[in-house]
Amino acid sequence: MGEQRQILAVDCGNTQIKLGVFRGTELTANFRLATDPHKTSDEYAILLRSLLTDEGLAPRKFDGAVLASVVPPVQPLLVRAVSKVLGRPCLEVAAGLDTGIRVRVDNPDEVGADLICLAVGAAGRYPLPVIVCSFGTATALLAVSAAPELAGVAIAPGILSAVGSLSSNAAKLPQIDLATPQTALGRNTIEAMRAGVVFGFAGLAERLVGEMSRELAQAGGGAVPTVVATGGLLNLIAKVTSVFQHYDPFLSLHGLRLLWERNAGR
């Protein structure tokens, strides 16, 4: 019966809050909200209750909830909102939680909850070792060894922040809508910016995946890692590179589900 329990997973990022409803291991519904530190917990509760009931879901029928946040001011607001709507405590991803993965970095407490969720999700869903490329507010790549251990992380600017920086700091470069470039030989300003950003970030991902793969192989007997892409902008990059073997836009939510099962769902 345990595999049929219904839980709510909440992943609060700098730009968006992703919510997923799981029945057992199946993601049956998902939603997105804008991250807004000016909202009250009551306002978040109203939005959450509305999203669930519009999908025909009874909030008080959930068996639990789990939340990860990289936005400290918003985290307590969401915890109160979720607990109020579901009538149950909300498990928070924090230091000391049983993840099943050793974090091999200088200061494990520095690793964001979002990266922990991605590492747990990847280890639970794909063959190890695995490299995850996350294209969100920041561009983050993380490597999970066969042990499994979070062996290391690389963080670069996000695609949208890079575009915003270009237009803000270069007087003659406009704000642009991102789209897949048809050529690297841009013949106007917009085409040139799209080519530079999209092909550039694809190249960044390819180089970092190559470096991480080499180091994982040296440390782990030559095993070739699985490469997974996630994040809101993965579709844009996926069209111009073949470095990714899997595309998993809900990887963090699956990581949250696995963390709930490991810590609260026994």
- In the chain, what percentage of residues exceed pLDDT 70? 98
Q: Is a pLDDT exceeding 80 seen at residue 152?
A: yes
Catalytic one of 11, 98, 106, 114: 114
Per-residue pLDDT band for 169 (boundaries 50, 70, 90) equals confident
Q: Which pair of structure tokens corresponds to residue 158?
A: 């996000």
Answer whether residue 243 shows pLDDT above 90: yes
List, for residues 54-79, the tens digit of each pLDDT value. 999 999 999 999 999 999 999 999 99
Query: Is residue 54 annotated as a catalytic residue, yes or no?
Result: no
Please give the pLDDT value at position 2: 46
Alpha-carbon distance of 246 to 87, in angstroms, equals 37
The pLDDT confidence band at residue 166, using thresholds 50, 70 and 90, is confident
96 Rama sector, left if φ>0, alpha if ψ -120 to 50, beta otherwise: left
- Rounded-to-10 torsion of CA 224, 228, 233, 235: 90
The model's confidence at residue 232, banded by pLDDT at 50, 70 and 90, is confident
Span 90-109, average pLDDT:
91
Residue-wise pLDDT for 31-58, tens only, equals 999 999 999 999 999 999 999 999 999 9
Predicted local confidence at residue 204, as pLDDT: 97
Query: What DSSP state is assigned to residue 225?
Result: P
Mean pLDDT along residues 16-22: 97
Strand stretches in 42-148, DSSP E: 64-69, 90-92, 102-103, 130-135, 138-144
- pLDDT of 1 reads 42
The mean pLDDT value of the chain amounts to 93
pLDDT for the residue numbered 233: 86
> In the block, which residue shows the tokens 């040139």?
192
Q: Which of 139, 140, 121 is nearest to 246 (CA)?
A: 121
pLDDT score recorded for residue 266: 65
